[in-house]
Amino acid sequence: MVGLGVVPQPGSNYLDIAEEFYKRYAVLEKELPKEFKLNLALDNTKFITQSIEEVEETLIIAIILVVLIIYLFFRDWVIAIRPLIDIPVSLIGTFFIMYIFGFSINVLTLLAIVMATGLVVDDGIVVTENIYKKIEAGMRPLEASIEGSKEIFFAVVSTSLTLAAVFMPVIFMEGFVGRLFREFGVVIAAAVLISAFVSLTLTPMLNAKLFRKDQKKSRFYEMTEPFFEAMENGYKNSLASFVRAGWWLPTLIWVGCLGVIIGFGSMLQSELAPLEDRGNLRLQIIGPESSSFGYTDAFMLKLGKLVKDSVPEAEMVLTVTAPGFTGSGAVNTGFVRMRLSEPGDRERSQKDIAAYLNKKAAGFAEGKVFAQQEQTISASGGAARGALPVQYVIQAPNFEKLKEKLPKFMDEVSKNPTFQGFDVNLKFNKPEFTVVPDRQKAKLLGVSVADIGQALQLSFSGTRIGYFTMNNKQYQVMSQFDYKDRNKPLDLKSLYVRNDKGELIQMDNVVKFDETASPPQIYHYNRYMSATVSAGLAQGKTVGDGIEEMNKIADKVLDDSFTTALSGASRDYAESSSNAYFAFLLALVLIYLLLAAQFESFVDPVIIIFFTAAPAIAGAIFSLWYFNQTINIFSQIGIIMLIGLVTKNGILIVEFINHLVEGGKQRTDAVLEGATLRLRPILMTSIATALGALPIALALGAGAQSRVPMGIVVIGGIMFSLAITLYIVPSLHASNIQVKQWFASRRKNKENEA
């Protein structure tokens, strides 16, 4: 066969290239002679197309769910379908921002659009609900729209700026994660800010036009309103008991949330991103260092037959011996690539088939075989080509120390149950046969060193010594023994050299030889002598587990003169983890500073942030544990986003309570009334955001597995935080108001005394 690979230029559109390719492919099929056959080994654009289609479907489902939840609370279809105006306006504005920044429509930007669908209606819901209450109180729709939006203006601006501020660290992050999620952060931040503008301009206007003061309530409204009133009364009464308990009960709950975070967080595995079932597997083969091309090729054919016979899900099997375009080109290497049937058409998953092949490969004595799955996300070319996920670099001060410790290190790796299949790039198995002239013997027998060298060169080097012509074609004359006469050290006995008397002297009489093994290549990493240990992972293990075990082995085997580093997918994982934690802490600082400026208080932001964030993170961590998910780049970004989402609820409660206190309400009355009045909009916005993320959590469609943790984090964090925030934030703010009033009265008394 002849393999052809189409490699897009940087910045080009993969789907446009694929469309043009298939047009030309159809033409080639018609033009090629019948004895030729065309087949497709790999097409990554199919997965991209399926992923984009799946995200588009998710977007539609999210919009429908958001409309339904608004209807269930307002019980009015006119109000429920209003987001069908708000959402397109906000999203069209967001697409314009994407156009200005030069972003493309891809899986991550579309994922941001899906997440934004539940967010862009939040501000509109809050404004609409406030206007709705004023109309029910007797105001005319136009007057209620103006007063209601004016009253809620501060809360809308605060919540929108807070959520946008969460993504500032993500947008400006350097490295792999920054490049990956910069577009995601910009899209969501733009959508939220545009939605805030829409909710304070378009939404009041629509409410003024759509509401009618004399509009009759539907029968469904009359039937369900007692339930909502009972819910508000029940919440108000239970909150009153909670407030009377003082500050210790919220603090105890907060400490409990920290315990959940630490306890369940320690049980979570970590990785860069969950592996997706893309229907592609690759077997990497490494034979003995002295293998010939024929030996490796025979092994490749044997593996290809094994795959065809034992993996019925494989629609295409491609074997390549000594690959030069995706490997070193060494004759002892090769790979088998297989294209599997669609996930819905087979019982075994890609992961199950890889585990099965790794188990079968352990029985081959001809060489090492590793079944590899393509990494979902990778900044390293090696990882993208299917390199083993754990890449651990050992750096030594000199070659001798590396040669001494490396076998011990590999022995520990082989015993560790975390790893399934392992290899190291620095090997000491290349056979060398050293021939050294015995000058004293050669001189006694009358043989010169130059004659010895010439005889060896003519016999083994394959030097071209001339040409000849036959049948009008020119051929090279190569100087070399047949393979059967130059394959063993004993073949030197069949080689003779003439002395100065013209006598034939057997070669092994005038030379000394020694058989040794040495590395075929020597590697450096950051200018140090190095060896990279690669390892696959046993089923149920992640990259984080693999790195942790490698570090333990390094502590056990290596001394202080060695240093270690990570490469490939392992380096991507470590970089993503450190950057995500930095972004999380910076997001908390930015939100605190922003809220401190808006509330003109250093205490209010503490209550809003820390007593909403802790329950949210606890809910996210517990949800990840319960659904057997991992800490990865998607769940980490989801947690960062979650901080901005849940602080919105705290802002709505605290801002409204402050407004009532400033209006002359007593502390407890203001807390109970403010929290109760904000109950419905908080429930609506939280549930709408959770439902917007529900299709992502359910993993509907191709390539959705990697995004599942983000959906689970958002839903679990929002709902868990919702149940706790509605109690601990008002209760703590009541204590905060009491302290403020005490200080204010004391300051006033001092002023009067003065």
Q: Residue 308: pLDDT above 80?
A: yes
pLDDT of residue 526: 85
Task: Give the model's confidence band at 754: pLDDT under 50 very low, under 70 low, under 90 confident, else very high.
Answer: low
pLDDT of residue 255: 92
Strand boundaries in 538-579, DSSP class E: 563-566
CA angle, 85 then 86 then 88, to 5°: 70
- pLDDT confidence band for 462 (50 / 70 / 90): confident
At residue 745 the predicted structure's pLDDT band, cuts being 50, 70 and 90, is confident
Cβ-contact 554, 465 below 8 angstroms: no
Q: Which two tokens stand for residue 8?
A: 């897009």
pLDDT at residue number 565? 93
**Host H or E run for residue 743:** helix 708-753
548 pLDDT band (50/70/90 cuts)?
very high
Question: What integer pLDDT is reported at residue 326 of this predicted model?
Answer: 57
Confidence (pLDDT) at 384: 40
Which of 516 and 172 is assigned the larger pLDDT? Answer: 516
What contacts 177, CB < 8 A, 6 or more positions away? 170, 575, 576, 579, 580, 583, 633
pLDDT of 175 reads: 65
Provide the pLDDT for residue 563.
92
Residue 215 makes CB contacts below 8 A (sequence gap 6+) with none
Backbone angles phi, psi at 502, to 5 degrees: 85, 5
pLDDT tens by residue, 232-241: 999 999 999 8
Instruction: Please tell me the distance from the alpha carbon of residue 335 to that of residue 654, in angstroms, as a whole number.
Output: 62
Closest CA to 42 of 239, 265, 450, 326: 326
- The torsion region of residue 93 among left (phi > 0), alpha (psi -120 to 50) and beta comes to alpha
Task: Name the band, by pLDDT with cuts 50, 70 and 90, for residue 96.
Answer: very high
pLDDT tens digits, one per residue of 555-595: 999 999 999 999 888 888 887 777 778 888 888 888 888 88
Q: Residue 385's pLDDT band (boundaries 50, 70, 90)?
A: very low
Tell me what pLDDT residue 262 has.
94
DSSP element (H, E) containing 365: none
Tens-digit pLDDT profile for residues 632-669: 888 888 888 888 888 888 888 888 888 888 888 888 88
CA atoms within 13 A on the CB side of 395: 10
Residues 6+ apart with CB under 8 A from 655: 154, 155, 158, 599
Residue 684 pLDDT: 87
Q: For residue 535, what are the β-bridge partners? A: 390, 422
Q: Is the pLDDT of residue 325 over 70?
A: no
pLDDT at residue 553, as a whole number: 94
Beta carbons within 10 angstroms of residue 686's beta carbon:
24
pLDDT mean across residues, the chain: 84
Is residue 675 a contact partner of residue 655, using CB atoms and an 8 Å limit?
Answer: no
Average pLDDT on 93-108 reads 85
pLDDT, residue 717, reads 94
**What pLDDT, on a 0 to 100 scale, did the predictor assign at position 230?**
93
Answer for the pair 254, 732: CB distance below 8 angstroms, yes or no: no
**Region 458-462 average pLDDT:** 81
**Strand, coil or helix: what is 308?**
helix
Name the residue type at position 342.
E
12-55 pLDDT, tens digit each: 888 889 999 999 999 998 898 988 988 888 887 887 787 777 77
Residue in the block written with tokens 């990570």: 566
Write down the pLDDT at residue 258.
93
CA 164 – CA 160 distance, rounded (Å):
6
Q: Tokens at residue 70, please?
A: 């608004």
Enumerate domains of the chain plus CATH numbers.
14-39 (no CATH), 46-273+573-753 (1.20.1640.10), 280-427+528-570 (3.30.70.1430), 430-518 (3.30.2090.10)
* pLDDT of the residue at 700: 60
Confidence bin at 382 (pLDDT 50/70/90): very low
Nearest to 692 by CA among 59, 194, 80: 59
CB 675 within 8 A of CB 650: no
Q: Backbone dihedral region of 175: left (phi > 0), alpha (psi from -120 to 50 degrees) or beta?
A: left
Is the CA virtual torsion 158, 163, 168, 171 positive or negative?
A: negative
Model confidence over 483-508: pLDDT tens digits? 777 777 777 777 888 888 888 888 88
Q: Give the three-state DSSP class for 447.
A: coil
pTM (two decimals) = 0.79
